Amino acid sequence: MSATPVEPTSHLRVVMGEEELLRARAVSAVRAAVFARHEDAEEHELAAAGLPIGQLADVLAPSLFGGHRLVVVTGVQECAGALADALVSYTKDPDPDLTLVIVHFGGKRNEALVKSFRSAGAALDECPKVTSVGDRIGFVRNEVRQAGGRITADAASALVDAVGADLRQLSAAASQLVSDFGGNVDAEAVARFHHGQAEVTGFTVAERVLVGDRAGSIEMLRWALQRGVAHVLIADAIADGVRTAARVASLSSTNPGELARILKLPPWKVKKAQAQSRGWSIDGLQQAIGVAAELNADVKGAAASADYALERAVRRIVTIRAETGRGRASAGR
């Protein structure tokens, strides 16, 4: 259920199933095993849909430079017949210096390809969809155990009730609970955690972004989206935070009362903006304002996915802060 496969030693491997998190973990485990044995291994990841046979042949051909290679072909349920034939043909005489992983997202399509790999001796990591509440509870308990904690049965059930069926969110919540509550998680801890997450707003996301907390800002963004906070509200909160920090940082005064009078803002907002502007340069804040302006258009229809646009903008702004902050620190030394 944790999707951590047995020591992946086979040079032919199939990762198959509908559960995306489990597939990702299975591939990561193979990757880790390959690089543990071959630290200079060369890696290629290819999407099967529309993949030219020639490109596949290039990465599977013996390397002129020696060394081990890892090739991951994802979404093989979508590959054309000729590509499937090429993959099957490779299994008849596999390169001992190459680990080939095919990833099938489940379903009946191209099952023959999987069977051919299995007949050729490929190892199989099954990643079935976790559909029952009992299995999700078991998943949570295992995640907590792997994070070094312990969780009561009623707490695991409460967490599944609170978070839902998404395994990534369940995994993140389990890890966070272990971290926040010292390793012992009970129903009261889950209630406190869930209450806090339910209060996430666009301003919560903006605060994490402005202080450069990449992991925290992404986590808060995903919680906000899950709780139904409107894309426009999150984008507006980020834009407001960046603009206010820029206005405060552009003035020479550091007196909150004086700044509040000049900017016609409440003193509490000035103090918060002062704290959030630390670590920023004026140039960095100007770049962030540009990203926020693009985001405003994206969430109002310019982008194909408002969720993706928000996450991309969050990552860009955090990166700008890190890069301009380093530059300013270097200039000051």
* Residue 245 buriedness (CB in 10 A; 0-12 / 13-18 / 19+): buried
pLDDT per residue as tens digits for the range 131-141: 888 899 999 99
This prediction has a pTM of 0.58
- Which of 79, 93, 97 lies closest to 121, judged by CA? 93
Using 50, 70 and 90 to split pLDDT, how confident is the model at 179?
confident
CB-based contact 210:242 (threshold 8 Å): yes
Secondary structure (3-state) at 292? helix
pLDDT per residue as tens digits for the range 227-237: 778 888 899 88
Cα distance between residue 153 and residue 159, in whole Å: 10
DSSP alpha helices (H): ranges in the chain?
20-37, 53-60, 81-91, 111-119, 133-146, 153-163, 167-180, 187-198, 202-210, 214-226, 231-249, 256-263, 267-277, 282-297, 306-332
